Amino acid sequence: MKTIKPQEWKAELAEFKEKTNLFYAGEMDKGSYKGFSGKYGSYAQRSGKENMLRLRMTAGRMTKEKLSFIADMVEKHQVDLVHLTTCQTVQLHNLKPEAVCDIMEKALDHGIVTMGGGGDFPRNVMMSPLSGTEEEYFDVLPYAEAAADYLMNFINAEKMPRKLKVGFSNGPANVSHATFRDLGFVARPDGLFDVYSAGGLGANPKFGVKVGEAVKPDQVLYYIRAMWETFRAYGNYENRAKARTRYMQDTLGREGYQKAFQEKLEGVYQSGEELTINPDREEITKTGDGSQAEGRWISAQKQPGLYRYHYHPVGGGINPCKFREIYDIIKDMDQVELRLSPDESLYVINLTGAEAEKVQAVLSDGAQTEFETSVACIGASICQVGVRDSQKLLRAAVEAVREANLPEGALPQIHISGCPSSCGTHQIGAIGFRGGVKMIDKKPYPAFVLFYHGCDRQGMEQMGKEIGTMLEEDIPRFLVELGNTVKASGMDFAAWAKETPDGVEKAAGPYLR
C-alpha cells in the first residue's frame, strides 16, 4: 500500500494558484471556481471577495505542532474568523488569495492537508474525540489515522461519490455518527468492529447498512477499498444530486446493497492486494501528580490522575487568538494535545489537576450551559449554498435564553443547519432547525423548519420528526417559552420530554406557520 505524504501534494498547488488568480481577476465564474477549488479544501465565500480554507484534522486530533502552526498563520494573515466544524476540521475564513495559497502550502510541512477538504473526495476521517482517554470498547485512533492515510490515495480516483465520509466510533455514544456515514467502523466489546455503509444525513437521509460483523481491526482498509468498488459499480456518479452512497439503498434495497458490497469485498480479497495494517499505538504514559481539579467543564480521564477540559465556543466560532493562548499554556505540558469534537467544540486532554486549572483559566469564556453548546453551521452569510444565517439565529437564541435566566437543563443542545445539507446535523438533534423560506401573502420571509426527537446514540438512532415551519424572528421566543415550561415542571428537558412526549409539538403550535 502506497501512502501519500502531505508534502507530495505541493506539486498540485500551482494549478490552484493559477485558477484562484483567474477567479479574482474576473476571468472565471464562481460556479466553475467552486467545482475546481473544492478539491483543495477551499471555496469562495458568498461575497466572492474572500475564500475559506478547511484544514483537515484526522480523527479530530490536533497536536501541539499543528496548534502552533495555526496560531502562526492566524497572526501572520490577521485571520478574523475561525470555525470549528461538525466534521472535526478547522475552517479559516475571510482569506485573501495570497493568504489561502500561503497557508495551504505551508500547512503541508506541518502534516496538515487541505486536499479533499471539499468537492467529490474523501473527507476528513472522523472519530469519537476522546478515544483512548475515556471508558470505551477500545481505542480506535490508530485505525482512524491509518484509514485517513489510505483514503488520500483516492483523491485523484475516478468515479468517486460527491462526498465520502468515514467515521470510527469507540462506543455506544456514537459521537462520530459511524452507524450512518458512507462508511463507519463501530467498536465492539470483543475488540472487533461492526461495519456500516451507505448512510448519511442531508437530503434523503439514511441509516447505514451493516456490511461487516466482527471484523478484525487490521482489515479496515479492505472495507474502504470495497466501498469505492461498490460505488463505481452501482453508484449514480453521473447525477450530482444522487451521487452519494446512500442513494444505492434506493436502487438496490438494503439487502441488495449488502450483497453487492460483500461481492466487491470478496473481490478485493481475491485481488491479492495486501491491505492488512498494524498501526503503531501511542500509549499515554503520563500519570497524575496528585493534584485534583474541579470545574463545570473538567472531567477525569480513565488514566488515573489525568483530566480533560471541554471548551465549546458558542456556535463553534472560536476567537482566533485562542490558538496562541492555548499553545502558550500547554506547550511545555507532557503529552497534552487537542481533540476536536463533532459538536464544534474541543477538548484539551492528558492534563494533570494543576494543568487543568491553568487551562480552565484561559478557556473560561465558552458555553456556560448545555443549551449554549448548541450546534450551528457557518451559515448563509458565508456559505454559497446556505439559505439562512444559522449563526445569527443561534446568537439571538442564546441572548434571549440568557435574558430569560433559564436554568441549566431547561433546554437541550439544539442543532441548526442553514440549508437541507445538514452541516449543522439538525436531523439528529433533540431539537433541530433547517433553514428555508416561508411565503406569506406572496412575500418570502426568513424561516426554519423545526425537527424534534432525533437521536444519534447507537441502537437508538432516529431521524428527527419534521413538525412545521417557524419564522426566524419567532424562534427565540419559542425557545424561551419552551424553557419556561420545562422549568415549571421541576424537571430537566430530557426527563420532561420523556414524560410529555407531545410537549414540544404543543409548545411549537402557536408559532408554526
CATH of the domain at 354: 3.30.1370
Q: Is 338 left (phi over 0), alpha (psi -120 to 50) or beta?
A: beta
Query: What is the model's pLDDT at position 2?
Result: 62
Q: In angstroms, what CA-CA distances link 278 with 142, 145, 207, 217, 219?
A: 9, 11, 30, 9, 9
**Residue 466 to residue 459: CA distance in whole angstroms:** 21
**Residue 76 to residue 476: CA distance in whole angstroms:** 38
- Give the pLDDT confidence of 359-402 residue by residue, as tens digits: 999 999 999 999 999 999 999 999 998 999 999 999 999 999 99
**Residue 248 to residue 168: CA distance in whole angstroms:** 22
CA angle (415, 419, 425) in 5-degree steps: 30
Question: Is the same domain home to 107 and 193?
Answer: no
Query: What is the model's pLDDT at position 192?
Result: 98
Question: Is the same domain home to 503 and 388?
Answer: yes
Whether the pLDDT of residue 1 is over 60: the answer is no
Residue of 10, 2, 3 whose CA lies nearest to 107: 10
pLDDT higher for 388 or 3? 388
**Residue 316 to residue 343: CA distance in whole angstroms:** 8
Asked which of 119, 143, 173 is the last residue of a domain, the reply is 119
Question: Is the same domain home to 377 and 449?
Answer: yes
Bridge partner residues of 184 (DSSP): 167, 196
- Give the pLDDT confidence of 141-175 residue by residue, as tens digits: 999 999 999 999 988 887 788 889 999 999 999 99
Residue matched to cell numbers 430537566: 492
| Paired sense of beta strands 414-417 and 375-376, if any | parallel
CA angle (88, 268, 264) in 5-degree steps: 85
Question: Is the same domain home to 385 and 499?
Answer: yes
Residue of 260, 199, 271, 269 whose CA lies nearest to 231: 260
Question: Is the same domain home to 347 and 474?
Answer: no
Question: Is the same domain home to 375 and 470?
Answer: yes
Question: Is the same domain home to 410 and 348?
Answer: no
Whether 293 is in a domain gets the answer no
Task: Tell me the pLDDT of the chain averaged across its residues.
Answer: 96
Is-contact 209 257, C-beta < 8 A? yes
**Residue 289 to residue 268: CA distance in whole angstroms:** 50
Contacts of 156 (CB under 8 A, 6+ apart): none
Q: Which three cell numbers stand for residue 253?
A: 434495497
Whether the pLDDT of residue 478 is over 60: the answer is yes
Residue of 113, 203, 121 whose CA lies nearest to 164: 121
Residue of 164, 159, 181 whose CA lies nearest to 233: 159
Is-contact 192 214, C-beta < 8 A? yes
Whether 182 is in a domain gets the answer yes
Whether 276 is in a domain gets the answer no
pLDDT higher for 181 or 158? 181
Whether 205 is in a domain gets the answer yes
Whether 316 is in a domain gets the answer yes
Question: Is the same domain home to 103 and 151?
Answer: no
Extended strands (E) in 202-344: 209-215, 298-300, 307-311, 337-341
Question: For 124-136, what is the mean pLDDT?
Answer: 98
Whichever domain contains 402, its CATH number is 3.30.413.10
Asked which of 344, 362, 380 is the last residue of a domain, the reply is 362
Query: What is the model's pLDDT at position 186?
Result: 98
Whether 492 is in a domain gets the answer yes
Tell me the CB-side half-sphere exposure of residue 361, using CA atoms within 13 A: 10
Whether 285 is in a domain gets the answer no
Whether 282 is in a domain gets the answer no
Q: Is 294 left (phi over 0), alpha (psi -120 to 50) or beta?
A: beta
Hey, how many other C-beta atoms are within 10 angstroms of the C-beta on 404?
A: 17
Question: Is the same domain home to 402 and 482?
Answer: yes
Asked which of 52, 84, 119 is the last residue of a domain, the reply is 119
Residue type, 439: M
Question: Is the same domain home to 176 and 203?
Answer: yes
Is-contact 108 9, C-beta < 8 A? yes
Query: What is the model's pLDDT at position 241?
Result: 85
Query: What is the model's pLDDT at position 238?
Result: 84
Winning range, highest mean pLDDT, from 4-8, 162-166, 236-240: 162-166
pLDDT higher for 343 or 116? 343
CA angle (155, 159, 162) in 5-degree steps: 70
**Residue 386 to residue 25: CA distance in whole angstroms:** 25
Phi, psi torsion values for 118, nearest 5 degrees = -145, -175
Whichever domain contains 62, its CATH number is 3.90.480.10
Burial 77-115 (b: 16+ CB within 10 A, else e): bebebbbbbbbbbbbbbbbebebbbebbbebbebbbbbb
| Stretch (H or E) spanning 488 | helix 475-489
**Residue 70 to residue 323: CA distance in whole angstroms:** 7
Residue matched to cell numbers 442553514: 418
Question: Is the same domain home to 305 and 381?
Answer: no
Query: What is the model's pLDDT at position 160?
Result: 81
Query: What is the model's pLDDT at position 158?
Result: 76
Q: Which three cell numbers stand for residue 478?
A: 419559542
Domain count, the chain: 4
Question: Is the same domain home to 391 and 351?
Answer: no
Structural domain for 105, as ranges: 6-119
Q: Which three cell numbers stand for residue 143?
A: 485505525
Query: What is the model's pLDDT at position 270?
Result: 97
pLDDT higher for 83 or 157? 83
Is-contact 178 167, C-beta < 8 A? yes
CA 347 to chain centre: 14
